[in-house]
Amino acid sequence: IYDNEYFQLSVIDSKKHKEDKEFGFNINRCLYYEIVEHNDMRHLGPILCMYDHIIANSWEKWIEFTRTDTIADGGNHCSFRYKLKSNE
């Protein structure tokens, strides 16, 4: 859904992470943030980003979600990193 002109998704090299059961991508443009910025409501950007963590909580038993950057916090992209947890 995000591989379009409004979000400009780029997938992180999946071959490198295949053995580690990881998947990652970056969002290089964020339509959501552009809308809040245009309406002078930048403070809402980080709140919108928290929804990704809320969704990730629903599968946290199996998949670890990490993020180091968001456009809303001044980064040049939003990072999405997923790693399958081991069956311990």
Q: Are 45 and 36 in contact (CB under 8 A)?
A: yes
Predicted model pTM: 0.85
pLDDT tens string 19-41: 678 899 999 999 999 999 999 99
pLDDT tens string 47-77: 999 999 999 999 999 999 999 999 999 999 9
Rounded Cα distance between 53 and 28, Å, is 18
Beta bridge partners, 80, equal 25
